Each structure stands twice: as C-alpha cells, then as structure tokens.
C-alpha cells in the first residue's frame, strides 16, 4: 500500500513530537505533524518554533522549504502514514495515579484511522503494563511498538542523534520495522522486551529525581549547620569518581521527573519508599527556603523577587515549575512577590532590571545563564541555592 507520509506524529507540535518530526524530516522522510494545537500549528507553519529547542530552527526552515514537513489538525491524516508515532502527554491525577483510562480512550479514538499494514509506535511515557492494555484496545492485528523518548528538553536535536533508541514490540515484525525507522536518526538500536522498555524509561527519570533529592537533602542539612553545601560537594567530588554524580542543589521539577516517579509509586502500590521520600524532599524545597527567610525577616510586606520561572535553566517551559510554588508560599506569608524570566513570558512578569530595583530579597528560581552576570546591590539579600 502506498502512503503519503513515512511518519505521522500524533502530538507532533509538542515538546517531544516536534523535534522528533524535524529530525526525521532532516533525514529525508516525509513527516506529518498531527495535533490539535491551532496556535502552534500557525507558528510552525510560518517557520518558527513555539518553544525553545536549540539547533531546531534551521532544520525546521529547511524541512518546510523541502516540503518534507506537513502540519495537520485533522486526525484522518493518521490513515495516510506508514508509521504512526504517539507522542502525547500522559499526566497523573491528584492521587498520583496514571490517567491510563484517559490515554486508552484516546488510543481507541484513533483505531478507526488505522489498518494492519501500519506500525503504531508509542513514544509517550507510560505506566508499567500500559502497552499491553493498548494492544488489547487496538487488537492483535495492529503492529504495536514501544520506543520511549529519552531526551533532555530543549536539546532534543542533539540527543536524538546521540542516544541509543530502546525498541520493544509485540511481534518480530513490529520490532524490525520500528528499528528500521529509528535507524534513520539514532546512533544505535537496543531491542528489549516491552516490560523492560517501560520500566527502563520510568527508572531513568526516577533515578535522576532521587539523585536531585539526595543533593537537596544534603543542602538542607548543610544550611541547618551553617555550612556551604557547594564547598562540601566540591571537596567530595574532586578526584573521587565514586561521588562524581552528586548534583548541586536546586529545584527538581518539570513534566517528567516527578510524574514518572509518581507512576512507579502508584504501580508499586506505595512500596517505592525512596521515590516517595524524594518527592517529599524535592517538593518541600520551596518551603525550606521560605522558612529560612522567615527566620531572618518578617515576610509581611517584604519585597521578594524570583528570577527564573521556568522549570529548569535556559528553557521556556513552566510546567510544574517549583518557582510558582515558591511564589505562592511567599505570598501566603504576606510577601510582595515579583517574578521574571528570560525565556518564559506572562503578563505578570517584569524585567529582571525592574525586579532587581524593587526587591529586598532576590531568589534564583531557574539558573538561566544570563543571571551569572547580574550585579545585585550589596544591600539586597541574594539567595542562590544552585551555586
């Protein structure tokens, strides 16, 4: 059967789908980015990126110029592609359970656009055993593979080419076809079982999250003892490889690390104690910072500025950013709070220059590189847990 597209990415205008589609198109494949986001569709069709993605702009422009990249708001486009990649978000609910039913309902809605000749690839992070439920939803006649994303947000263009791609499937044919597709862009292919692939994806993010938690716990202990954590860390890691992976302190947030840790905790029915402890530490860091300030000042009416509202440095994504939790806690304690960011925008944000001029205390929420050169007045209390 002849198809219009080599690849259709469902959720193709998001943080995972868009860079993936751009890289496939840069390798000469005909790619359709299928989505429901009309705003992003307009931006991308005009040759611009809707969010920060380093090194993507020239590839996007060339892909559009070469007519290798198409954008569709119509789900029937799915029927026009040989390979279908599902790259939509998979959130958790307020009880830390995966919204698997919602995800499966979405998968079920796609079934009418699929045929047995196509390959369906799940790219989204999913809870263990979700792919088996997807197989039951779609039926045994649909070739189904799981190829989880593993990139660091903002740097997908580099990492998609550098990182090995995990490939799992419910049939030899599904694994072979998915492997063939990703060989176009990946450094190597690692074939694995479905359960191994699901757990490897979740474990990787939980491992990073727990690493950040131990660093943040060490930071809190040092602060309580009036010791500089970064100096302790420096002498720990210098020439000592066994401590080399210890991170600096800082907000551990974003749309993946906490969510995937939650998914394991929910799946393992409350038995993932390290993950639960990591959540308490990382999510509790804003409270710790505020309590430190309360020990020094009366926060009522104190002017506090937060520089960096995105969830990590040098990106514009504010999803699950702990800077917003910090802002809410400060306001609850009566502080007058100003917010600024170099990448993300909001009607409530002000420039960093205005924030510095108004604030009595300044806190680095996300350590954007531009903040390294800031000149903070000597009479301003400056809080930078990252360094």
User: Which is more confident, 299 or 387?
Assistant: 299
Please state, in angstroms and as integers, the Cα–Cα distance from residue 140 to each residue in 66, 111, 193, following that order. Answer: 37, 12, 17
pLDDT-derived band at 278, boundaries 50, 70, 90: very high
Query: Could you tell me whether strands 165-169 and 143-146 are parallel, antiparallel, or unpaired per DSSP bridges?
Result: antiparallel
> Can you give the pLDDT at residue 387?
87
What's the rounded Cα separation, in Å, for the pair 244 and 233? Answer: 9
Do 2 and 38 form a contact (C-beta atoms < 8 A)? no
Domains and CATH numbers, the chain: 5-192 (3.40.50.720), 201-383 (3.40.50.720)
User: What sign for the dihedral angle of Cα 185, 55, 72, 311?
Assistant: positive
Whether the pLDDT of residue 214 is over 60: the answer is: yes
List pLDDT tens digits, range 217-270.
Answer: 999 999 999 999 999 999 999 999 999 999 999 999 988 899 999 889 888 887
Could you tell me the pLDDT band of residue 297, with boundaries at 50, 70 and 90?
A: very high
Q: Are 305 and 341 in contact (CB under 8 A)?
A: no
Name the one residue in this structure whose structure tokens are 């400056």: 382
Residue 173: how many other CB atoms lie within 10 Å: 12
The predicted pLDDT at position 97 comes to 65
Q: CA–CA separation, 321 vs 287, rounded Å?
A: 14
pLDDT tens column, 359-383: 999 999 999 999 999 999 999 999 9
What is the structure's pLDDT at 94? 60
Q: Enter the tokens of residue 365.
A: 């929420």
Q: Which two tokens stand for residue 350?
A: 């002000």
Q: Please give the DSSP secondary-structure letter assigned to residue 50.
A: S
Average pLDDT, the chain: 95
């Amino acid at each position: 059967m002849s198809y219009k597209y080599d690849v259709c990415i469902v959720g193709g205008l998001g943080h995972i789908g868009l860079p993936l589609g751009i890289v496939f198109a840069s390798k000469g494949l005909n790619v359709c980015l299928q989505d429901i986001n009309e705003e992003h569709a307009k931006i991308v069709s005009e040759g611009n990126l809707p969010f920060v993605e380093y090194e993507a702009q020239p590839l996007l422009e060339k892909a559009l110029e070469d007519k290798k990249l198409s954008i569709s708001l119509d789900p029937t486009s799915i029927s026009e592609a040989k390979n279908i990649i599902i790259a939509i978000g998979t959130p958790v609910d307020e009880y830390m359970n995966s919204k698997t039913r919602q995800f499966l309902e979405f998968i079920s809605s796609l079934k009418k656009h699929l045929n047995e000749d196509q390959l369906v690839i799940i790219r989204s992070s999913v809870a263990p055993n979700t792919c088996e439920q997807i197989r039951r939803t779609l039926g045994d006649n649909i070739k189904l593979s799981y190829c989880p994303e593993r990139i660091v947000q903002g740097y997908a263009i580099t990492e998609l080419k550098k990182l090995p791609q995990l490939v799992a499937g419910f049939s030899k044919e599904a694994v072979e076809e998915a492997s063939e597709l990703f060989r176009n862009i990946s450094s190597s292919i690692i074939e694995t079982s479905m359960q191994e692939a699901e757990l490897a994806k979740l474990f990787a993010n939980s491992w990073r999250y727990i690493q950040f938690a131990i660093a943040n716990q060490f930071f809190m202990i040092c602060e309580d003892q009036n010791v500089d954590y970064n100096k302790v860390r420096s002498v720990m890691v210098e020439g000592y490889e066994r401590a080399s992976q210890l991170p600096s302190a800082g907000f551990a947030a974003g749309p993946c690390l906490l969510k995937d840790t939650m998914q394991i905790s929910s799946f393992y029915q409350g038995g993932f104690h390290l993950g639960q402890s990591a959540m308490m530490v990382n999510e509790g860091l804003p409270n710790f910072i505020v309590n430190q300030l309360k020990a020094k000042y009366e926060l009522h009416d104190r002017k506090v500025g937060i520089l960096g509202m995105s969830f990590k440095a040098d990106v514009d994504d504010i999803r699950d950013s702990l800077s917003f939790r910090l802002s809410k806690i400060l306001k609850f304690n009566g502080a007058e709070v100003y917010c600024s960011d170099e990448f993300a925008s909001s009607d409530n944000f002000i420039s960093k220059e205005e924030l510095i001029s108004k604030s009595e205390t300044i806190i680095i929420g996300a350590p954007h590189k531009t903040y390294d050169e800031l000149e903070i007045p000597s009479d301003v209390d400056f809080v930078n847990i990252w360094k």
